[in-house]
Chain A
Amino acid sequence: MKTFKGFFKAFILIACFIAIFFFRNEATGAFLSVRGFVEGLFNSANYRTLADLKIENASLKKELEKFSVAEKKDSSQFLEARVYSRYPFNDKNVIVIDKGFADGVTEGMPVLAKKDVLLGRVKSVQRFQSEVMTIFDPDWKTSASIGNAHIKTVLNGANTPRAELIPKDAAVAAGDEVVNSAQEFPLGLFMGTVKSVTLDEKKVWQIADIEVPYAIEDIDSVLIMTNFK
C-alpha cells in the first residue's frame, strides 16, 4: 500500500511535468496571475500607483518635448509584453517577457519601459518568450549623450547605471537628462537623469551616476519596438 502511494505520487509528478510542457502558454498566464496576487500582498496599491506614475511622467515629458520642437510623424510600432520573470541571481539583470518569435519578436529589438523610455534590448528569443537585457545589466554598454550640449558618454549597466568617459572639462550637473545616442536604438530615447558627478580614480574623466524614473522590480509590462530596424 505504501509502495503504491509512493508510485502514485511519482506518477502525479511526471503527469504534472508533461502537462506543464504541453500547456506552457497557459501556465505562463497562470503564473502571471499568481505573481500579481502575491505582489499585491507585498506591495501596497499606493506604492504601485506611485511607481507607475513616476515612469508615466517621464514618458509624457518626452512626448511633450517632441510636440514642442517639431511636428514629427511617429511611425513606430509597439508590441506590449508582460514581464514573465526575472533572472534569479545577482550577476546579471535580464528579464523574460511573454512574447517570442511567434509574435514577431526578433533579437536586437529595442525594449521600452514606457513610450520614449529605453529599458533594454531583446537578447534571445524563443517561441513564446524572449529574454531582455536591461540597462541595469553589467554587460550593458552603449553610447549616450548628456544634457542640451549633447556631451558624449558611455553608459555602463549596473544596479545604478553609470555614464563614464565624460570629458573632465564637460559641464555636467545633477538633473541633466541622459538620452540614447547609439545607432542600435532610436536616437534621443530617454534613459535617465544625472544623479551625481565625480572624477574617476585617475582624475582624467568624469563619472556620473544615473537615476532612472522607475525600479526594475516594479516593471510589469514593456513595449517592444517591432519596426525599428
Chain B
Amino acid sequence: MSFMKFVNRFFIFFLLATLAIFFQRGGFLNVGGVTPNLLLIVFLCLILAHDSMTLIVSVYLGLLLSAFFVDPFWLMELGLFGPVVLLIALMRKRFTGNAFIDLMLMTAVFELLFYGVLSLFHTSTLPLFPLLGELVYTILLGIPLWVLIKRIEA
C-alpha cells in the first residue's frame, strides 16, 4: 500500500471510528437500554476490507490518543478493545472467508472475549440480556454498514 493510500484510508477509518464512538457515547441508537457496538463494526469492516495490521493499529492508536483527552474514564475498556480486535484480525484467516458470516462470527468472538475479560475486573455478574441484545443489534447494523463501507471503498 502506498503512503498516500495509507494516509487516506487512515483518515477515513479514523473519522468513522470517531463518529462511531460519538454515537455510542451519546446513546443515539440506544434501544431498550441496549447500545450497538458501532466502534466494533467499524474495526471489523476495516479488518474485512483491508488486511493491513499497520492500518488497524494506526487507527486504533489514533482513537486511543483522542480518548485519552476526551474520555479518560474509560481508557481501560478502550485499552482492552484494541488487543481483542487485533487478536480477531490475526485470527481472520481461520474464519469462513464469507464476509457476512465472518462479520457475525467475529462479532460473537469479540463479545465473548471482551466482556469475558472485563468481567474479571468487575465484582458483579455480567448483565446477560444487554450483552445478548448488543450482539444481535450489532450484527443487524453491521451488515448494512459493511455494504456501505464496501461501496465507499470501491
Contact = CB atoms under 8 A, between A and B. Distances in A.
B33 A136 contact: yes
A159 B71 contact: no
B11 interface: yes
B124 A139 contact: yes
A168 to B, nearest CB: 24
A74 interface: no
A38 B26 contact: yes
Interface string A116-144: 00000000101001010000101100000
Interface string A95-129: 01000000000000000000000000000101001
A63 B4 CA distance: 63
30 contacts: A3-B3, A5-B4, A6-B3, A6-B7, A10-B7, A13-B62, A20-B69, A27-B70, A39-B26, A39-B28, A88-B35, A88-B74, A88-B77, A89-B35, A89-B115, A90-B127, A91-B115, A91-B119, A91-B127, A91-B131, A126-B73, A129-B72, A136-B33, A138-B122, A138-B127, A139-B124, A159-B127, A216-B27, A217-B27, A217-B30
| A: interface residue count bin | 35 or more
Interface of B: 3-4, 7, 11, 14, 21, 24-28, 30, 32-35, 37, 39, 62, 65-66, 69-74, 77, 115, 118-119, 122-127, 129-131, 133-134
A9 B21 contact: no
A131 B72 CA distance: 10
A138 B125 contact: yes
Interface of A: 2-3, 5-6, 9-10, 13, 17, 20-21, 24, 27, 35, 38-39, 42, 85-94, 96, 124, 126, 129, 131, 136, 138-139, 158-159, 216-217
A85 B70 CA distance: 10
A159 B77 contact: no
B39 A131 contact: no
A139 B7 CA distance: 42
Contacts of A88: 21, 24-25, 35, 39, 74, 77
Contact of A90 (B11, B62, B123, B131): B131
B3 A42 contact: no
Contacts of B14: 13
A217 B62 CA distance: 28
A9 B11 contact: yes
A91 B122 contact: yes
A216 B122 CA distance: 22
B130 A91 contact: yes
